[in-house]
Amino acid sequence: MTGNLRRTPAETKPFPVKRRRSATIERSAPVPEEPSIRHQVEAVLSRAQESGLTANKAGRISGRVSSELIERAKARTGLRSDTELLEFALANVAIADDFAHVFRDLKGTVDPDLDLGF
**What is the distance between the alpha carbons of residues 19 and 32, in angstroms, rounded to a whole number?**
25
* 102-111 pLDDT tens trace: 888 888 888 8
pTM: 0.56
The closest of 29, 19, 17 to 85, measured between CA atoms, is: 29
**What is the distance between the alpha carbons of residues 94 and 84, in angstroms, rounded to a whole number?**
15
Domain assignments of the chain as residue spans, ordered by start: 35-56+64-96
* 21-45 pLDDT tens trace: 444 444 444 445 567 788 899 999 9
**What is the distance between the alpha carbons of residues 37 and 44, in angstroms, rounded to a whole number?**
10
Per-residue pLDDT at 112: 81
Q: Is pLDDT at 76 greater than 90 in this prediction?
A: yes
**What is the distance between the alpha carbons of residues 41 and 25, in angstroms, rounded to a whole number?**
8
Q: What is the mean pLDDT of residues 68-93?
A: 94
